[in-house]
Amino acid sequence: MKLNLLPTTVSKGKQAKSGIVFSAMIAVAGAIGAIFVSTTSSQALTQAKSDYDQSVGPAAAAYSKSIEADAILEAPSSVALIRDAKLADEMIRHNDVYPALYDSLKPYIPSFYRVNSMFASPTGAGTSTITLVGTIKTYQQYADLMLAFSRYPGVQSVGRAGFNWNETFVPNISPLDQIGLPHKLNEAPVPEDKFARIAYFESQVQPQGYSGVSNYGSGTDNTRGAMPDYSLVTVTLAVQKDLMVPLPRATLAATGGAASTSTAGTGLPPGVPSGAGSGIPPAATGGGTTSQEGTTRKKGKGKSDEE
């Protein structure tokens, strides 16, 4: 056993001395930090005041220039210039609208659908209709058209029409045909009796020579239609695409001398007459016109590409 023969006051005295020294060190460090913070804050305040004094003059000059610029922009000549520039930009931008639409749709056209023509036209602000005319062969392809075009971004609905179902099928059993011999829909049932079957096939019309169906082999540049056993199918897509055409006449006809010059909420530059919110004279509205960034727009006639 180890005995501690020293009095308890000896160890506590050493601890008290250490605490006093440590407290003095903390007090000195706090005083140094306070002096540093005070000095740094004073320097930052002095620098901020200096920067403010230096920026007052340029800020006042910039404000004065902005007032002058606003006055220039609100002048009738400037309003007309801005309107004309926006109209030119809209017309230039619209040159690529139809090609860009066709290019975006082409990756979604299935390989079994041979497109003869593609036509697009606007139906309203932000909506358009795309019509494709092409040929397919089987009913399965006719069903797959819906799935293929439903993947196109922004499509709202897909319609199709024109398929002529004339594939070979196995009919139900009839008194004439107890086996169910395959034949096409537009052909009469094939007789089960072998002699009657020979007479049946002999009665079938056999084309002589080249048929020249759908302008094939005509030697002309006319559009080729559906080949034998193929169908000419029309697909109609309703998509969320803006094809509205800028209307220069109605836009340029707007002047600053109209009775109402308020353009709040119309999207027109200040000073351009609102024309009941559209900026279009009543005789030039035509159906489906709208206003965008001060430029009057209308439904275009659409464009088409043919093979």
What pLDDT score does 16 carry?
67
What pLDDT score does 152 carry?
93
What pLDDT score does 132 carry?
94
Predicted confidence (pLDDT) at residue 32 exceeds the cutoff of 70: yes
What is the three-class DSSP state of 129? Answer: strand
What pLDDT score does 40 carry?
86
Query: Do 129 and 120 touch, CB atoms closer than 8 A?
Result: yes
Predicted confidence (pLDDT) at residue 269 exceeds the cutoff of 80: no
What pLDDT score does 267 carry?
39
What pLDDT score does 85 carry?
81
Mean pLDDT, residues 54-81 taken together: 79
Q: How far apart are alpha carbons 244 and 91 in whole angstroms?
A: 11
Q: What is the pLDDT of residues 283-300, one digit of tens each?
A: 333 333 444 445 566 666
What pLDDT score does 239 carry?
93
What pLDDT score does 282 carry?
33
Instruction: Identify the residue with better confidence: 267 or 126.
Output: 126
Specify the residue for token string 């023969």: 5
| Residue (of 39, 76, 85) closest to 271 by Cα position | 76
Mean pLDDT, residues 31-36 taken together: 85
Q: What is the mean pLDDT of the chain?
A: 74
Query: Do 272 and 254 touch, CB atoms closer than 8 A?
Result: yes
State pTM to two decimals: 0.53
Q: How far apart are alpha carbons 84 and 89 in whole angstroms?
A: 9
Mean pLDDT, residues 121-150 taken together: 90
What pLDDT score does 147 carry?
92
Predicted confidence (pLDDT) at residue 63 exceeds the cutoff of 70: yes
What is the three-class DSSP state of 111? Answer: coil
What pLDDT score does 187 carry?
74
Reported in sequence order, the residue ranges of the chain that DSSP labels E, i.e. its strands, are 114-124, 127-136, 155-161, 168-169, 183-184, 231-239, 245-246, 290-292, 295-298, 303-306
Q: Sign of dihedral through CA atoms 243, 248, 254, 255?
A: positive
Mean pLDDT, residues 262-278 taken together: 37
What pLDDT score does 126 carry?
86
Would you place residue 178 in the very low, low, confident or very high pLDDT band (cuts 50, 70, 90)? confident
Would you place residue 42 in the very low, low, confident or very high pLDDT band (cuts 50, 70, 90)? confident
Mean pLDDT, residues 21-35 taken together: 83
